Amino acid sequence: MSLDERKLEVLRAIVEDYVSTHEPVGSKSLAERHVLGVSPATIRNDMAALEEEGYIAQPHTSAGRIPTDKGYRLFVDRLSQVKPLSAPERRAIQTFLDGAVDLDDVVRRSVRLLAQLTRQVAVVQYPALSRSAVRHLELVHLSDGRLLLVLITDTGRVEQRVVQLPTALGEEQVAELRTAVNASLTGHRLADAPAQVESLPDSVGLELRPVMVSLGTVLLETLAERSEERVMLAGTANLTRSALDFPRTIHPVLEALEEQVVLLKLIGEIETPSTLRVRIGEENAVEGLRDTSVVSVGYGSGEQALAGLGVLGPTRMDYPGTMSAVRAVARYVGDLLARQ
Amino acid sequence: MSLDERKLEVLRAIVEDYVSTHEPVGSKSLAERHVLGVSPATIRNDMAALEEEGYIAQPHTSAGRIPTDKGYRLFVDRLSQVKPLSAPERRAIQTFLDGAVDLDDVVRRSVRLLAQLTRQVAVVQYPALSRSAVRHLELVHLSDGRLLLVLITDTGRVEQRVVQLPTALGEEQVAELRTAVNASLTGHRLADAPAQVESLPDSVGLELRPVMVSLGTVLLETLAERSEERVMLAGTANLTRSALDFPRTIHPVLEALEEQVVLLKLIGEIETPSTLRVRIGEENAVEGLRDTSVVSVGYGSGEQALAGLGVLGPTRMDYPGTMSAVRAVARYVGDLLARQ
DNA sequence: ATTGGCACTCGACCGTTACGAGTGCCAGGA
DNA sequence: TCCTGGCACTCGTAACGGTCGAGTGCCAAT
């Protein structure tokens, strides 16, 4: 039970060495590479204790020790201090992101940046519709009794859906609809949309009410279906940099990454920005991601996060470095979107 | 030089066996599994000739033969007949694609479908802007002297860019701009946009001309930058299904797939629809895709292709099956977009 | 032109051995 | 009580050597 100061120090040393060398670490090399002030024999005793407690394990009898998920967890919680980024790194982030011309570009640039900085797989979620506000709603009249509904949010997201009309419309009627919809929704958060949509039909002439109803339905549908759905991925190739990272193959990992739902589970579900979350190995409920860790965080300007972003890599990753990179990128992206 | 009928038959048998077993094929097993009417010894002679001509090769002395890129090429050009899809497959494609609600959805569904049908990596390019026509242009006035330009094409693609205004504008002025821009561009193909944009400034009042100029500039920029740029990928996990498929690792392949430019080179550059193109191994100019083949085709309703789609897999792939799946999906997608 | 026979090549497989990194334990010392 | 050097032990890896067999090329006979 008792993990005194030195044992923790030994665990830290094991994690650090294992992360950098990718090989089980033994008592002798530990004593050489770190200033622990004791002999290998003493370290061996500590290691035996750490193994007893489940923080480290031996791949086989005559090998050194590697950290377990539990060991990494302790390391992340108590032993690591967030490594600040270097000045050039900060500058690189800034200049790279500042060049973005629209939301797509922001997301694309940040996900690439994150992949490059951490040398891992990066995931960035688009700002959730429900947490954005309506900037403008546009109705475009298509040829045959159909209407294209274009929704533009204050974070720059654009969603479109075709609405099948119950009756054909004239241009002036479309204009009336457009005015009414914008009057009641522009500036409002989309989370409040259901209430607003409720009262929409009352704002137009009698003969337009059925049209307004189907418009409202489609709007709510879009909100429900696409609310959190979009994510962007980069750096998949980083998974294969060192073949030793994954016991069997990376197949299950790639499969998991193809599932949007899974990605959203990993990155999403974030309420307040800038609270880093680290999920290590088995802590990922997803089968197939048992040998990976996920570092994620919410981004956004205000109190509430707009969406999440993060990084996925082998359990054996550089946690301090990854954590600081993820946090830094999230901050910049949040600021950037606030300035839009 | 002379490749008589039987030698071709032997080559076909070798390709078919190698594709299905993934192992070098020898003369004896060839004689057993195929009705060639001759003894293994004769086949050996033919194989020696085929090797002499460069159509097959031996991994090492005491092994069977495998096809070379040149061998696959001959197979694709002269020996394979496109395998028609089964009725259930056709139906599956139809029902799966018909459920799409907008362009994003169409692309997402087709790329997944293609990956699933071929069990390989699928790539679908968004309809090229330059080959689409303008359905509507919307201008949304942002707070501080900026304008959001939203471009909607007849294929359902939506692009947006923020325009930095030289001077602040009133709502009526924005309306004037909107009317003018739509009047001159709606219905026109975007390939003709440069000419149209030229004359835009003349269509509005004097004081709006500088604004119109910057608007035109941004429009052309968007066209240039994003014209062909967007693609969607699926089925990356299929690369790892059989570890034997790639001599070293799939790392270079994954890296190549991360580069949009590379993907566009593979899938794009297509003028007429429904002409299948097969690029085998070394024929891909891209370093890192030397062990893969790409089957691609243009899709679109009319004479000219809107964009391309295709599939990437190990050189040792089921060419007839892949080719028919790619062609079928392209047809359905083309029809679907024409119906929009 | 085709075929059966035959000698040859060479990678895959398997058991043996040697090596060495790393461990656990123990007895002696601070 | 805690630390340390010494030592026997374990076990995975690498290297070696021998066998096996699939597959070949060649040749003489049909």
Question: pLDDT tens digit string along A84-108?
Answer: 889 998 999 999 998 887 888 899 9
- Classify burial at A38, counting beta carbons within 10 Å of its beta carbon; exposed 0-12, middle 13-18, buried 19 or more: middle
- What pLDDT digit, counting tens, does each position of B86-99 carry? 999 899 999 999 88
Residue A168 confidence (pLDDT): 81
pLDDT in tens, A152-185: 888 888 888 888 887 888 888 888 889 999 998 9
Please tell me which residue of chain B has the smallest CA distance to A230: B104
Q: CA–CA separation, A36 vs A321, rounded Å?
A: 24
Tokens, residue A242: 């060192």
CA A162 to CA A160: how far, in whole Å?
A: 7
Partner A contacted by B136 (CB < 8 A): yes
CA angle A7, A9, A12 (to 5 degrees): 110
Q: What is the mean pLDDT of residues B11-39?
A: 93
* Beta strands A56-57; A66-67: pairing state: antiparallel
Q: Which residue type is seen at A326? A: V
User: Percent of chain B at pLDDT above 90?
Assistant: 50
B179–A contact, CB cutoff 8 A: no
Please say whether the beta carbons of A295 and A319 come within 8 A.
Answer: yes
Does the pLDDT at position B22 exceed 80? yes
Residues of A in contact with B150 (CB under 8 A): 138, 150, 152, 158
Q: Are A286 and A253 in contact (CB under 8 A)?
A: no
- The pTM assigned to this predicted structure is 0.90
Whole-angstrom distance, CA of residue A121 vs CA of residue B258 = 12
Residue A183 CA, chain-centre distance (Å), reads 34
- Nearest Cα of chain B lies from the Cα of A340 at a distance, in angstroms, of 9
Res A227 pLDDT > 70: no
A287 sits in which H/E element: none
- Please tell me whether residue B68 adopts helix, strand or coil conformation: coil
Whether B327 and B274 have beta carbons less than 8 Å apart is answered as yes
Calculate what percentage of chain A has a pLDDT beyond 90: 50
- Give mean pLDDT, residues B216-222: 87
- The tokens of A195 are what? 């209430």
Average pLDDT score, chain A: 89
Least confident of B55-69, B107-121, B238-252: B238-252
Instruction: Give residue B170's pLDDT band: very low, low, confident or very high (50, 70, 90).
Output: confident
Q: Is the pLDDT assigned to residue B1 strictly greater than 50?
A: no
Chain A nearest-CA distance from B331, in A, is 23
Q: What pLDDT does residue A1 have?
A: 44
Residue A254 predicted with pLDDT over 60: yes
List the structure tokens of B85. 């899809």
> How large is the average pLDDT for residues A314-331?
95
Q: Do A240 and B254 touch (CB under 8 A)?
A: yes
- Chain A residues whose beta carbon lies within 8 Å of the beta carbon of residue B236: 236, 254, 257-258
Segment B295-317, tens digit of pLDDT: 999 998 777 788 999 999 999 99
For strand D, the positions having any atom within 7 A of a protein Cβ are 3-6, 10-12, 21-27
* B228 pLDDT more than 70: no
Strand C: protein residues, Cβ closer than 7 A: A 23-29, 40-41, 44, 47-48, 51, 58, 61-65; B 6, 37-39, 41-42, 45, 60-63
Whether chain A has a CB inside 8 Å of the CB on B138: the answer is yes
Token couple for B50: 């085929």
State the average pLDDT over residues B137-165: 85
Of B158, B249, B254, the CB nearest to A160: B158
Q: What is the mean pLDDT of residues B3-15?
A: 91
Strand order of the β-sheet with A231-234 is A231-234, A121-125, A307-314, A292-299, A277-280
Do residues B214 and B221 lie in contact, with contact meaning Cβ atoms separated by under 8 Å? no
Q: What is the largest CA-CA distance in chain B?
A: 89
Distance (Å) from the alpha carbon of A14 to chain B's nearest alpha carbon: 29
Residue A273 CA to residue B108 CA, distance in Å, equals 30
Average pLDDT over residues A65-88: 92
Report CB contact under 8 Å: A152, B152. no
| Band of pLDDT at residue A340, cut at 50, 70 and 90 | low
pLDDT at A82 over 90: no
**Residue B76 or residue A215, greater confidence:** B76
* Alpha-carbon separation of residue A336 from A67, A91, A299, A322, B220 (angstroms): 38, 15, 10, 21, 25
Tell me the pLDDT tens digit for each residue of B100-128: 878 888 999 999 999 999 999 999 999 98
B235 to A258: CB separation less than 8 angstroms, yes or no: yes
| Residue A242: DSSP 8-state | S
